[in-house]
Amino acid sequence: MEGDRRSAPTEGRRDRAAPVARSGRAAPAGRPARTARAARTARPTIFDVAALAGVSYSTVSRVINDQPHVHEDTRQRVRVAMAHLGYTAHVSARALASGRTGAIGLLALELESSFFTAIIRGVDEQAAHVGFDLLLCTTHDRREKEAQYVARLSHGMVDGLLIILPRAMPDYVGRLRSERFPFVIIDHDEDAPGCDVIAADNRGGARQAVAHLAELGHRRIAIITGDPVAGSSHQRVLGYRDALAAAGLPFDETLVAQGDFLEPRAHLATLQLMRQAAPPTAIFASSDLAAFGVMRAARELGMRVPDDLSVVGFDDIPEASYVGPPLTTVIQPLREMGRAGVRRLAELVRDQTEPAMRMILHTTLMVRGTTAPPPERLATRRRGTGIAAAGASVAAAVAAASRSRSRD
């Protein structure tokens, strides 16, 4: 048997290629070759490669995994055999045996909004870079689904999880933590003890945006908030207040309208804001989508942006620069957030004991075409009829409406 192994690689290879496998070598003890069963597909396995190369299957495994302790000649011989058979390792089998899958999972709410796709682009880019496969799961806000996904994913599908979570912390996070499963949360701007989090500086960004409006001379600056369950939403309100305070402007509850980051709600909120006795001359929307809603409302009211109303968004999704006029907004480095998330996750997968950390990325104000100084002070002072200066009959109607019910 031993002399056997020593047979010169070259001719050894040839006679191994013959149909008859040398018994007790190709088929290890207790593994009777291949049963008649199914035989799913005739895909070559590690055993076929081993037989062809005239080595044991574990040696093939070592070659596949670039492990040391394989003679260079042997390695070559195995490589040739693999190429010859067109061998590709079975992913599930390695995952099962090794406990590693080489993939990461990405959990996102949906794919509709550019907000998510922007992050996903960053994730995809970096995942490819560090050699992870990407499993994309969208939850469509179905909480039960979400927990299920997480369970499945963390049980043999992926090595780590990236969760875009602009909301409250769900229960499964606790479970992941206790199972010491690597995960990173993206866009979760609130307390998350023991979790690795990547978020943008929401408060700072909002402050920049509102400070910009104040500098332009606006005194009545409204905010349309994001979804109240999102921490980022809260942070942006704080930034708004910071900026007001810094500019010496009073905080006025009537200038705070609740939104949900989406367009329709912002549209509605804007109509309500403008109906007030003292409507704002500028609106800070908590997302670009919301800003689009503001602009649509303005258009309907016959107001021009930015002449009659200034608008600032948040996020800088691609559409922001397409619309007319292009939107002034706060750049949130979405793509970079995705990239950073993967980088961090890769570290965690490598070393499970890394202490959790929180990573805050800077935001930048991007001044484009939707902000300008407020319309002449006169209009601002002559409330109610002020807007009528915008000229459209719709505006007049709103003005009339706001006169009749002085406060909402």
Residues that bind a second copy (CB under 8 A): 38, 40-41, 43, 86, 88-93, 95-96, 99, 101, 103, 111-112, 117, 120-121, 124, 128, 133-138, 140, 151-152, 154-157, 175, 179-180, 318-319, 322-324
Q: Where are the beta strands (DSSP E) in 187-333?
A: 196-200, 221-224, 256-257, 282-285, 310-315, 328-331
User: 4 or 110: whose CB is closer to DNA?
Assistant: 4
- Separation CA 93–CA 320 (nearest Å): 46
Phi, psi angle pair for 103, to nearest 5°:
-130, 155
Q: Is 59 in the site for DNA (CB under 7 A)?
A: yes
Of the pair 62, 236, the CB lying nearest DNA is at 62
Choose among DNA, a second copy, none what residue 332 binds, the Cβ cut-off being 5 to 8 Å by kind.
none
Q: Is 2 in the site for DNA (CB under 7 A)?
A: yes
Query: Which are the contacts of 32, defined by CB distance < 8 A and separation ≥ 6?
Result: none
Q: Can you tell me the distance from the alpha carbon of 245 to that of 225, in angstroms, rounded to the nearest whole number?
A: 18
Among 61, 113, 114, 232, binds DNA (CB under 7 A): 61
Q: Which residues pair with 160 in a beta bridge?
A: 104
Q: Closest CB to DNA among 54 and 226?
A: 54
Phi, psi of 313 (to 5 degrees): -105, -165
Backbone angles phi, psi at 291, to 5 degrees: -60, -35
* Torsion of the alpha carbons at 161, 166, 167 and 173, rounded to the nearest 10: 10
Those residues whose C-beta lies under 8 Å from the C-beta of residue 114, and which sit 6 or more positions away, are 317, 318, 319
Q: Tokens for 187, please give them.
A: 């866009």
Q: How far is the CB of 12 from DNA (least distance, A)?
A: 10
Residue number, 87 or 172, with CB nearest to DNA:
87
Kindly indicate which of the ranges 33-41, 125-133, 283-291, 360-368 contains the residues binding DNA, using the contact rule CB under 7 A. 33-41
Q: Which does 138 bind (CB under 5 to 8 A by kind): a second copy, DNA, none?
A: a second copy
Q: How far is the CB of 222 from a second copy (least distance, A)?
A: 25
Rg, the chain, Cα only: 31
Parallel, antiparallel or unpaired: strands 221-224 and 282-285 = parallel
Two structure tokens written together for 218: 């606006």
Task: Name the binder of 2 from DNA, a second copy, none, CB < 5-8 A by kind.
Answer: DNA
| Near DNA in 70-129, by CB under 7 A | 70-74, 87, 89-90, 93-94, 96-99
Instruction: Spell out, one character per residue from 231 to 270, where the chain touches DNA: x when CB under 7 A holds, - when not.
Output: ----------------------------------------
CB atoms within 10 A of CB 116: 21
Strands (E), 228-333: 256-257, 282-285, 310-315, 328-331
243 contact partners, CB below 8 Å, separation of at least 6: 206, 207, 208, 209, 210, 211, 214
- The letter for the amino acid at 238 is L
Applying CB under 7 A, among 8, 66, 68, 180 the residue interacting with DNA is 68
Residue 5 binding result from DNA, a second copy, none, given CB thresholds of 5 to 8 Å by partner type:
DNA
Q: Which is nearer to a second copy, 119 or 255 (CB)?
A: 119
| 218 counts as binding DNA under rule CB under 7 A | no
174-206 burial by CB neighbour count: b if 16+ within 10 A, else e?
eebeeeebbbbbbbbbbebeebbbbbbbbbbbb
Beta carbon of residue 129, minimum distance to DNA (angstroms, whole number): 22
* Residue placing its CB nearer to a second copy in the complex, 52 or 150: 150
Total of chain residues touching DNA, rule CB under 7 A: 46
CB 67 → DNA: shortest distance, Å?
7
Q: C-beta of 92: minimal distance to a second copy in Å?
A: 4
Q: How far is the CB of 321 from a second copy (least distance, A)?
A: 10
Query: Residue 350 binds which one of a second copy, DNA, none, with CB within 5 to 8 A depending on kind?
Result: none
Nearer to a second copy, 151 or 397 (CB): 151
The site for DNA (CB under 7 A) is made up of 2-3, 5-6, 24-25, 28-32, 34-35, 37-38, 40, 43, 45-47, 54-59, 61-62, 64-65, 68-74, 87, 89-90, 93-94, 96-99
